[in-house]
Copies of this chain bind each other. A is one copy, B any other.
């Protein structure tokens, strides 16, 4: 039995992704917060895997160009849901 993915895991991964993306652009937490209209503290907390609001997450994700792939994923799940009774 493999250990299941937890919500905490996902939050930590999201934080890690934010940090790596941010650093790849040479931005400080302060810089990123400023362009997104968020405080440095909010970025700091997000990157360390703390809870956040969906708006904060999507602002960050959007800034790094990941909104299309997320949208695609959601659209696929919705489409998949509509077909599920056909099998």
Q: Which residues of A are in contact with B by a Cβ distance under 8 Å?
A: 5, 7, 9-11, 13-14, 16-17, 20-21, 24, 51-59, 62, 66-71, 73-75, 77-78, 81-82, 84
Contact = CB atoms under 8 A, between A and B. Distances in A.
How many copies of this protein are present in the complex? 2
Contact of A59 (B7, B52, B54, B55): B7
A9 to B, nearest CB: 7
A67 B54 CA distance: 16
Nearest to A49: B54
A13 B51 CA distance: 21
A53 B84 CA distance: 29
A71 B9 contact: yes
